[in-house]
Protein backbone atom coordinates (compact mmCIF):
# COMPACT_ATOMS: atom_id res chain seq x y z
CA UNK A 1 0.00 0.00 0.00
CA UNK A 2 1.53 3.31 -1.08
CA UNK A 3 1.83 6.52 0.86
CA UNK A 4 -1.27 8.72 0.61
CA UNK A 5 0.49 11.98 -0.24
CA UNK A 6 -2.77 13.88 -0.67
CA UNK A 7 -3.88 12.99 2.85
CA UNK A 8 -0.47 13.94 4.27
CA UNK A 9 -0.63 17.33 2.60
CA UNK A 10 -4.21 17.84 3.72
CA UNK A 11 -3.08 17.25 7.31
CA UNK A 12 -0.09 19.60 6.88
CA UNK A 13 -2.29 22.42 5.57
CA UNK A 14 -4.91 21.96 8.30
CA UNK A 15 -2.13 21.89 10.92
CA UNK A 16 -0.62 25.09 9.49
CA UNK A 17 -3.97 26.89 9.52
CA UNK A 18 -4.67 25.81 13.10
CA UNK A 19 -1.21 26.95 14.18
CA UNK A 20 -1.84 30.31 12.55
CA UNK A 21 -5.27 30.67 14.18
CA UNK A 22 -3.83 29.83 17.59
CA UNK A 23 -0.68 31.94 17.40
CA UNK A 24 -1.79 34.96 15.42
CA UNK A 25 -5.23 34.72 17.00
CA UNK A 26 -4.18 35.95 20.42
CA UNK A 27 -1.89 38.47 18.72
CA UNK A 28 -4.82 39.97 16.81
CA UNK A 29 -6.94 39.60 19.92
CA UNK A 30 -4.72 42.05 21.78
CA UNK A 31 -5.53 44.72 19.21
CA UNK A 32 -9.24 43.92 19.58
CA UNK A 33 -8.96 44.42 23.36
CA UNK A 34 -7.27 47.82 23.09
CA UNK A 35 -10.56 49.79 23.23
CA UNK A 36 -11.28 48.19 26.63
CA UNK A 37 -7.89 49.24 28.06
CA UNK A 38 -7.51 53.03 27.62
CA UNK A 39 -4.36 53.52 29.76
CA UNK A 40 -1.26 54.01 27.59
CA UNK A 41 1.11 52.17 29.96
CA UNK A 42 -1.24 49.14 30.01
CA UNK A 43 -1.33 49.16 26.21
CA UNK A 44 2.48 49.20 26.21
CA UNK A 45 2.49 46.07 28.37
CA UNK A 46 -0.12 44.36 26.18
CA UNK A 47 1.90 45.00 23.04
CA UNK A 48 5.14 43.95 24.70
CA UNK A 49 3.68 40.52 25.47
CA UNK A 50 3.78 39.72 21.74
CA UNK A 51 6.49 42.10 20.50
CA UNK A 52 9.21 39.40 20.34
CA UNK A 53 7.07 36.83 18.53
CA UNK A 54 4.23 38.46 16.59
CA UNK A 55 5.85 38.52 13.14
CA UNK A 56 6.96 34.88 13.39
CA UNK A 57 3.36 33.81 14.07
CA UNK A 58 2.39 34.59 10.49
CA UNK A 59 4.91 32.05 9.16
CA UNK A 60 2.15 29.46 9.46
CA UNK A 61 -0.15 31.43 7.19
CA UNK A 62 2.56 31.47 4.51
CA UNK A 63 3.14 27.75 5.06
CA UNK A 64 -0.53 26.93 4.60
CA UNK A 65 -0.88 29.09 1.50
CA UNK A 66 2.25 27.71 -0.14
CA UNK A 67 1.18 24.15 0.64
CA UNK A 68 -2.26 24.74 -0.86
CA UNK A 69 -0.69 26.22 -4.01
CA UNK A 70 1.64 23.27 -4.58
CA UNK A 71 -0.36 20.30 -3.30
CA UNK A 72 -3.91 21.34 -4.28
CA UNK A 73 -3.66 23.83 -7.17
CA UNK A 74 -7.33 23.51 -8.10
CA UNK A 75 -8.39 24.48 -4.58
CA UNK A 76 -5.87 27.32 -4.57
CA UNK A 77 -7.19 28.69 -7.87
CA UNK A 78 -10.86 28.40 -6.93
CA UNK A 79 -10.50 29.81 -3.41
CA UNK A 80 -8.32 32.74 -4.48
CA UNK A 81 -10.62 33.60 -7.37
CA UNK A 82 -13.77 33.38 -5.28
CA UNK A 83 -12.37 35.13 -2.21
CA UNK A 84 -9.96 37.61 -3.79
CA UNK A 85 -11.65 40.63 -2.21
CA UNK A 86 -11.86 39.47 1.44
CA UNK A 87 -8.36 37.94 1.25
CA UNK A 88 -6.96 41.21 -0.10
CA UNK A 89 -8.73 43.16 2.64
CA UNK A 90 -7.28 40.73 5.20
CA UNK A 91 -3.75 41.28 3.90
CA UNK A 92 -4.22 45.05 3.98
CA UNK A 93 -5.37 44.75 7.60
CA UNK A 94 -2.35 42.63 8.52
CA UNK A 95 0.04 45.06 6.81
CA UNK A 96 -1.55 48.10 8.42
CA UNK A 97 -1.48 46.42 11.83
CA UNK A 98 2.21 45.57 11.40
CA UNK A 99 3.05 49.14 10.45
CA UNK A 100 1.09 50.47 13.42
CA UNK A 101 2.83 47.97 15.68
CA UNK A 102 6.26 49.30 14.80
CA UNK A 103 5.40 52.99 14.47
CA UNK A 104 3.55 53.18 17.77
CA UNK A 105 6.74 52.63 19.76
CA UNK A 106 8.60 55.28 17.78
CA UNK A 107 5.83 57.89 17.76
CA UNK A 108 5.64 60.90 20.05
CA UNK A 109 2.86 61.05 22.63
CA UNK A 110 0.83 63.35 20.41
CA UNK A 111 0.87 60.80 17.55
CA UNK A 112 0.60 57.61 19.58
CA UNK A 113 -3.20 57.77 19.73
CA UNK A 114 -3.34 57.64 15.93
CA UNK A 115 -1.23 54.49 15.81
CA UNK A 116 -3.31 52.95 18.61
CA UNK A 117 -6.42 53.45 16.49
CA UNK A 118 -4.58 52.05 13.48
CA UNK A 119 -3.57 48.98 15.47
CA UNK A 120 -7.18 48.45 16.54
CA UNK A 121 -8.51 48.95 13.00
CA UNK A 122 -5.90 46.67 11.41
CA UNK A 123 -6.57 43.92 13.97
CA UNK A 124 -10.34 44.14 13.47
CA UNK A 125 -10.17 44.25 9.66
CA UNK A 126 -7.81 41.26 9.48
CA UNK A 127 -9.83 39.20 11.97
CA UNK A 128 -13.24 39.99 10.50
CA UNK A 129 -11.97 39.24 6.98
CA UNK A 130 -10.63 35.86 8.11
CA UNK A 131 -14.01 35.02 9.59
CA UNK A 132 -15.78 36.04 6.39
CA UNK A 133 -13.39 33.84 4.39
CA UNK A 134 -14.19 30.92 6.70
CA UNK A 135 -17.93 31.44 6.35
CA UNK A 136 -17.71 31.80 2.57
CA UNK A 137 -15.62 28.61 2.42
CA UNK A 138 -18.31 26.69 4.32
CA UNK A 139 -20.95 28.08 1.95
CA UNK A 140 -19.07 26.41 -0.92
CA UNK A 141 -18.09 27.40 -4.43
CA UNK A 142 -19.77 26.69 -7.78
CA UNK A 143 -17.25 24.91 -10.02
CA UNK A 144 -17.70 23.73 -13.60
CA UNK A 145 -14.97 22.06 -15.67
CA UNK A 146 -12.48 22.72 -12.85
CA UNK A 147 -13.19 26.47 -13.03
CA UNK A 148 -14.94 28.71 -10.53
CA UNK A 149 -18.11 30.13 -12.10
CA UNK A 150 -19.56 32.20 -9.27
CA UNK A 151 -20.00 35.92 -8.76
CA UNK A 152 -17.25 38.13 -7.36
CA UNK A 153 -19.53 39.07 -4.44
CA UNK A 154 -20.82 35.58 -3.56
CA UNK A 155 -18.82 35.74 -0.34
CA UNK A 156 -21.15 38.41 1.07
CA UNK A 157 -23.82 36.35 2.86
CA UNK A 158 -25.42 36.64 6.31
CA UNK A 159 -23.63 33.46 7.38
CA UNK A 160 -20.16 34.61 6.29
CA UNK A 161 -20.64 38.03 7.92
CA UNK A 162 -21.74 36.34 11.13
CA UNK A 163 -18.65 34.13 11.00
CA UNK A 164 -16.60 37.34 10.78
CA UNK A 165 -18.18 38.59 13.99
CA UNK A 166 -17.73 35.19 15.60
CA UNK A 167 -14.01 35.10 14.86
CA UNK A 168 -13.62 38.59 16.35
CA UNK A 169 -15.09 37.22 19.59
CA UNK A 170 -12.89 34.09 19.49
CA UNK A 171 -9.67 36.06 18.91
CA UNK A 172 -10.59 38.56 21.64
CA UNK A 173 -10.99 35.69 24.10
CA UNK A 174 -7.68 34.20 22.95
CA UNK A 175 -5.98 37.56 23.51
CA UNK A 176 -7.63 37.93 26.91
CA UNK A 177 -6.52 34.50 28.12
CA UNK A 178 -3.00 35.12 26.75
CA UNK A 179 -2.77 38.32 28.78
CA UNK A 180 -3.81 36.38 31.88
CA UNK A 181 -0.57 34.44 31.41
CA UNK A 182 1.63 37.43 30.65
CA UNK A 183 0.39 40.30 32.85
CA UNK A 184 -0.07 41.12 36.51
CA UNK A 185 -1.69 43.72 38.75
CA UNK A 186 -4.70 45.78 37.61
CA UNK A 187 -4.28 44.77 33.96
CA UNK A 188 -4.48 41.10 34.94
CA UNK A 189 -7.63 41.87 36.93
CA UNK A 190 -9.17 43.57 33.90
CA UNK A 191 -8.47 40.54 31.72
CA UNK A 192 -10.00 38.18 34.27
CA UNK A 193 -13.15 40.32 34.40
CA UNK A 194 -13.41 40.42 30.60
CA UNK A 195 -12.96 36.66 30.21
CA UNK A 196 -16.44 35.63 31.29
CA UNK A 197 -18.44 38.01 29.04
CA UNK A 198 -16.22 37.02 26.11
CA UNK A 199 -16.71 33.32 26.93
CA UNK A 200 -20.50 33.78 26.98
CA UNK A 201 -20.34 35.60 23.63
CA UNK A 202 -18.22 32.82 22.10
CA UNK A 203 -20.58 30.10 23.34
CA UNK A 204 -23.50 32.00 21.79
CA UNK A 205 -21.58 32.15 18.49
CA UNK A 206 -20.78 28.43 18.62
CA UNK A 207 -24.43 27.60 19.39
CA UNK A 208 -25.76 29.74 16.52
CA UNK A 209 -23.28 28.30 14.01
CA UNK A 210 -24.05 24.77 15.26
CA UNK A 211 -27.75 25.33 14.53
CA UNK A 212 -27.34 27.44 11.38
CA UNK A 213 -25.13 25.03 9.44
CA UNK A 214 -27.28 21.87 9.67
CA UNK A 215 -30.47 23.86 9.00
CA UNK A 216 -28.96 25.48 5.90
CA UNK A 217 -27.01 22.51 4.55
CA UNK A 218 -28.81 19.12 4.48
CA UNK A 219 -25.53 17.28 3.84
CA UNK A 220 -24.07 18.66 7.07
CA UNK A 221 -27.23 17.76 8.97
CA UNK A 222 -27.03 14.21 7.65
CA UNK A 223 -23.34 14.03 8.60
CA UNK A 224 -23.98 14.99 12.24
CA UNK A 225 -27.39 13.55 13.09
CA UNK A 226 -27.56 10.14 11.45
CA UNK A 227 -26.43 6.92 13.12
CA UNK A 228 -23.76 5.78 13.75
CA UNK A 229 -22.07 9.15 13.06
CA UNK A 230 -23.99 10.79 15.91
CA UNK A 231 -22.24 8.57 18.46
CA UNK A 232 -18.80 9.27 17.00
CA UNK A 233 -19.25 13.06 16.93
CA UNK A 234 -21.12 13.45 20.23
CA UNK A 235 -17.86 14.02 22.17
CA UNK A 236 -17.34 17.35 20.35
CA UNK A 237 -20.26 19.26 21.97
CA UNK A 238 -19.65 17.49 25.28
CA UNK A 239 -16.01 18.60 25.28
CA UNK A 240 -17.08 22.17 24.39
CA UNK A 241 -19.29 22.25 27.49
CA UNK A 242 -16.51 20.84 29.70
CA UNK A 243 -13.90 23.28 28.34
CA UNK A 244 -16.28 26.21 28.82
CA UNK A 245 -17.05 25.13 32.39
CA UNK A 246 -13.33 24.87 33.17
CA UNK A 247 -12.60 28.26 31.61
CA UNK A 248 -15.45 29.91 33.52
CA UNK A 249 -13.91 28.83 36.83
CA UNK A 250 -10.18 29.10 36.13
CA UNK A 251 -10.40 32.58 34.61
CA UNK A 252 -11.22 33.99 38.06
CA UNK A 253 -8.91 31.70 40.01
CA UNK A 254 -5.93 33.84 41.15
CA UNK A 255 -3.69 30.77 41.06
CA UNK A 256 -4.63 29.79 37.49
CA UNK A 257 -2.56 31.50 34.82
CA UNK A 258 -2.04 28.98 32.02
CA UNK A 259 -5.30 27.02 32.35
CA UNK A 260 -7.59 29.74 30.85
CA UNK A 261 -5.42 29.99 27.74
CA UNK A 262 -5.19 26.21 27.31
CA UNK A 263 -8.96 25.85 27.70
CA UNK A 264 -9.57 28.68 25.22
CA UNK A 265 -7.32 26.89 22.74
CA UNK A 266 -9.38 23.75 23.33
CA UNK A 267 -12.60 25.66 22.55
CA UNK A 268 -11.14 27.09 19.35
CA UNK A 269 -9.81 23.68 18.31
CA UNK A 270 -13.17 22.01 18.99
CA UNK A 271 -14.98 24.69 17.02
CA UNK A 272 -12.73 24.19 14.00
CA UNK A 273 -12.86 20.40 14.34
CA UNK A 274 -16.65 20.59 14.22
CA UNK A 275 -16.48 22.62 11.01
CA UNK A 276 -13.93 20.16 9.62
CA UNK A 277 -16.22 17.22 10.36
CA UNK A 278 -19.03 19.02 8.57
CA UNK A 279 -17.20 19.34 5.24
CA UNK A 280 -14.88 16.29 5.27
CA UNK A 281 -13.45 15.15 2.86
CA UNK A 282 -14.14 18.14 0.61
CA UNK A 283 -11.46 20.75 0.08
CA UNK A 284 -13.73 22.74 -2.25
CA UNK A 285 -17.21 22.49 -0.74
CA UNK A 286 -19.73 21.26 -1.46
CA UNK A 287 -18.51 18.27 -3.46
CA UNK A 288 -14.85 18.38 -4.60
CA UNK A 289 -12.68 16.25 -2.32
CA UNK A 290 -9.06 16.95 -1.46
CA UNK A 291 -8.01 14.02 -3.64
CA UNK A 292 -9.88 15.40 -6.66
CA UNK A 293 -8.16 18.77 -6.15
CA UNK A 294 -4.65 17.32 -5.68
CA UNK A 295 -1.61 17.89 -7.85
CA UNK A 296 0.32 14.91 -9.32
CA UNK A 297 2.03 12.64 -6.78
CA UNK A 298 5.45 13.63 -8.14
CA UNK A 299 4.81 17.28 -7.24
CA UNK A 300 3.48 16.41 -3.80
CA UNK A 301 6.41 14.10 -3.09
CA UNK A 302 8.96 16.72 -4.16
CA UNK A 303 7.33 19.34 -1.91
CA UNK A 304 7.05 16.92 1.00
CA UNK A 305 10.83 16.56 1.17
CA UNK A 306 11.17 20.28 1.75
CA UNK A 307 8.21 20.41 4.14
CA UNK A 308 9.63 17.65 6.34
CA UNK A 309 12.80 19.71 6.61
CA UNK A 310 11.33 23.14 7.22
CA UNK A 311 8.36 22.33 9.50
CA UNK A 312 10.58 20.98 12.33
CA UNK A 313 12.77 24.10 12.00
CA UNK A 314 9.73 26.36 12.34
CA UNK A 315 8.49 24.39 15.34
CA UNK A 316 11.89 24.55 17.06
CA UNK A 317 12.21 28.28 16.37
CA UNK A 318 8.68 28.88 17.65
CA UNK A 319 9.22 26.88 20.83
CA UNK A 320 12.56 28.53 21.52
CA UNK A 321 11.28 32.08 21.01
CA UNK A 322 8.34 31.54 23.35
CA UNK A 323 10.60 29.84 25.88
CA UNK A 324 13.12 32.68 25.89
CA UNK A 325 10.41 35.31 26.39
CA UNK A 326 8.34 33.34 28.90
CA UNK A 327 7.00 34.75 32.14
CA UNK A 328 5.16 37.89 33.18
CA UNK A 329 5.77 41.21 31.42
CA UNK A 330 6.36 44.18 33.69
CA UNK A 331 5.80 47.84 32.71
CA UNK A 332 9.53 48.52 32.66
CA UNK A 333 10.14 45.70 30.17
CA UNK A 334 10.44 46.71 26.56
CA UNK A 335 11.37 44.93 23.35
CA UNK A 336 11.62 47.94 21.04
> For 98-153, how does the pLDDT look when each residue is reduced to its tens digit (9 = 90+)?
888 778 777 677 778 888 888 899 999 999 999 999 989 888 888 888 788 888 88
* Lowest-confidence pick of 67-76, 89-98, 226-235: 226-235
Range 308-315 contact pairs with CB under 8 angstroms and sequence separation of 24 or more: 310/63, 311/12, 311/63, 314/59, 314/60, 314/63
pLDDT at 62: 85
222 occurs within a structural domain? yes
Q: Given a cut of 60, is residue 1 above it in pLDDT?
A: no
In a domain, 250, yes or no: yes
- For residue 332, the model assigns a pLDDT of 62
Residue 226 lies in a domain: yes
Kindly tell me if the per-residue pLDDT of 290 is higher than 90. Answer: no
Mean pLDDT of 275-297: 82
- Is pLDDT at 220 greater than 80 in this prediction? no
Residue 156 lies in a domain: yes
Least confident range from 49-58, 71-80, 83-92, 193-202: namely 49-58
Q: Mean pLDDT for the chain?
A: 85
Q: Give me the mean pLDDT over the 259-269 stretch.
A: 91
Instruction: Look at residue 150 in the predicted model and tell me its pLDDT.
Output: 81
Instruction: Kindly report the number of other CB atoms within 10 A of residue 225's CB atom.
Output: 11
Report the number of distinct structural domains present in the chain.
1
pLDDT for position 121: 92
Q: What angle do CA 82, 172, 13 make, to 5 degrees?
A: 45
- Phi-psi label, residue 145: left if phi above 0, alpha if psi -120 to 50, beta otherwise: left
Q: Label residues 94-110 b or e (16+ Cβ within 10 Å = b).
A: bebbbebbeebeeeeee
**Assigned domain for 332 exists:** no
**CA proximity to 22, closest of 264, 274, 275, 317:** 264
Q: What is the pLDDT of residue 195?
A: 92
Distance of CA 27 to the CA centre of its chain: 10
Does 334 reside within a domain?
no
Q: What percent of the chain has pLDDT over 70?
A: 96
Above 60 in pLDDT, residue 81? yes
pLDDT at 331 over 70: no
Nearest by Cα to 72 from 288, 216, 323 = 288
Backbone angles phi, psi at 256, to 5 degrees: -100, 115
User: When comparing pLDDT for 305 and 327, which is higher?
Assistant: 305
Torsion of the alpha carbons at 38, 247, 243 and 37, rounded to the nearest 10: 0
Residue 126 in any domain: the answer is yes
pLDDT at site 317 = 85
Query: In terms of residue numbers, what domain contains 253?
Result: 5-325
Within a domain: residue 321?
yes
| Model pLDDT, residue 171 | 94
229 vs 254, higher pLDDT? 254
* pTM of the complete model: 0.90
Model confidence at 334: pLDDT above 90: no
Q: Determine if residue 285 is left, alpha or beta; phi over 0 gives left, psi from -120 to 50 gives alpha, anything else beta.
A: beta
Taking Cα atoms as reference points, which of 127, 184, 140, 136 lies closest to residue 156?
A: 136
Amino acid sequence: MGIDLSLIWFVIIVFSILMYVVMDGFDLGIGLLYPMVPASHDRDVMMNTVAPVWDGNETWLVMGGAGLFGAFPLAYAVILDALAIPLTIMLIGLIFRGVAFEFRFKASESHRAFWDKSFIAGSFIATFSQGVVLGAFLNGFPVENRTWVGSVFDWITPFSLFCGIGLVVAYALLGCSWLIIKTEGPLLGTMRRLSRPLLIALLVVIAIVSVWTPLSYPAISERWFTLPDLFFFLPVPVLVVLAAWGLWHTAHNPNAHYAPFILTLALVFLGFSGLGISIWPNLIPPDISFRAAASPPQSQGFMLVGALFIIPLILVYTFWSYYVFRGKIKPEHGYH
